[in-house]
Each structure stands twice: as C-alpha cells, then as structure tokens.
Amino acid sequence: MIAGNWKMHLGPAEARTFLEGLSLGDVPAQQELLIFPPSVTLASLVADPSRPARVQVGIQNIHWEDQGAFTGEVSAGMAAEVGATFALIGHSERRHVFGETDEEVSLKVTAAYRHGLVPVVCVGETLEERRAGRVDEVILRQLDAALSAFPAQGRVLLAYEPVWAIGTGETATPQDASAAHATLRRRLTDALGVAKAREVAILYGGSVKPANAAELLDATDVDGVLVGGASLDPESFARIASAGS
C-alpha cells in the first residue's frame, strides 16, 4: 500500500491538477494506492473522471459520533457517503497538535467500522520518548487502545510514524522501521492470532521520498508507506509507488 497524506494541502482545483499530472504507467498493477485529501476535496477527488480507479480515497480524520453539535467536525458516515473508503486515525498531528487521546482513537476506530471505512491507525514515538528508550512502550500503548476496538472481522492497517521523522527530512533507518514493525506485529499476533495478524498491513511514514522509498519498502515487516510532503507532487508520488515493485 502506498498512501499519500495531503494534510492541509491541495484544495479541489489543485487536486484536479494533481490528477492531470499523475501517470501510473510504471506502477505495478497489484500496488494499492490511496490518497487522504482535505475533507473539502474528498467528494470532487472521488468523482473526478481523471482519477485512476486504482487510486482509492480516504478521510484524514473523523469524529466518533455520527452527528451532533460538533462544529468543524466530519463524521465517518458523511465521509463514506461521498466515497471515502479509508479513514486515517490518530495521526501524530492529531495527537500532538490537537490533543487527541488514545481513548478518542479507539472511539474513532469503532466509528469507522460502523460506516464501512477501513481504519489506518497511526502510532509513533516522539524524539524524547525514543531517547528515553520508550519506543515499544509508547507504540504498544497506542496500539492496544486501538486494538480494543478491532472487530473480529474487518480490515485494518497500521502506520508506524515516528514523530521526529514527520516533515523533518529525518527518516528512520530501515532497521528502525523493521524493529518497530516487528514489535507491532508480535502484539497483533498475540491479540488476534497468527493468520489475522498477518493480514494487517503495517505502513512506515516519516519523510518518505522517491530517494528512500525502495529501501524502506524492502525492509522486513514494512508493508507499505504513508507519505506526506512527497505525495503532493504527482511525479514524486508515482515514483514512490513504483519503488514498491
């Protein structure tokens, strides 16, 4: 899975320009592709005739309630109604800029399933936590909160995104990524059993770009990438997507 998180970039007009410039000729047919646009761009991106059918669309954040007096929020049902099929949940900017808690992440996972959205749950430690040797403790606490909301059936993806590597140009080494992914996979195996744990794709995110995508995608236990800045340019997104072959 190659997923692009556009964050607060690319409104509807810019998204149209992105699609016009997107050429997937070199991207292997089995490669899954996904874009998380801003929510005001969602409906037009889904409906845009120049969107290749293989490029799926997700929402960057949902509220856990279906409706109500929550000014500025969007529900999972509303995102599904306009064609989103995935929901990014617990991205580090949600956690650290907007104060989202593990409990809210768990409620959002439940809300995503209620409306047929596949959750992509993000976990990751800060630099301080890494320096204190607390990587496993932090990412397992975040995973456990989300795990409590996983249904017996249903697809889920995880994204390991060390906070210190997001938007900083600092990338985790493939070994760092593999180690964290293995920790997550072990917990998934304990909680869900071997077969179901194996079905959970674990993406790496944090300063992924065309120059480092191949080595990260080749790393053990890395099943894909979640790309921020480098997903805004169609050529760079396509180059990352073709690095997975």
d(CA 127, CA 92): 13
**By CB under 6 A, residue 228 contacts ligand PGA:** yes
Query: What burial class does residue 189 get, using C-beta atoms within 10 Å of its C-beta: 0-12 exposed, 13-18 middle, 19+ buried?
Result: middle
Place of tokens 């169609």: 234
**By CB under 6 A, residue 35 contacts ligand PGA:** no
**By CB under 6 A, residue 121 contacts ligand PGA:** no
3-state class (DSSP) for residue 157: strand
Catalytic-role residue among 91, 93, 125, 181: 91
161 tagged catalytic: yes
CA-closest candidate to residue 32, choices 53, 50, 46, 14: 53
Q: Which of 27, 147, 166, 238 binds ligand PGA (CB under 6 A)?
A: 166
**By CB under 6 A, residue 58 contacts ligand PGA:** no
Q: What's the CA angle centered on 157, arms 2 and 209, to 5 degrees? A: 30
- Segment near ligand PGA (CB under 6 A), from 54-62, 67-75, 184-192, 199-207? 199-207
Total of chain residues touching ligand PGA, rule CB under 6 A: 13
Cβ at position 180, least distance to ligand PGA in Å: 15
| Cβ-based neighbours of 126, under 8 Å, separated by 6 or more | 96, 138, 163, 164
Binding mask 206-225 for ligand PGA (x = CB under 6 A): xxx-----------------
Q: Which positions are annotated as active-site residues?
A: 91, 161
Q: Which residues bind ligand PGA (CB under 6 A)?
A: 5, 161, 166-167, 205-208, 226-230
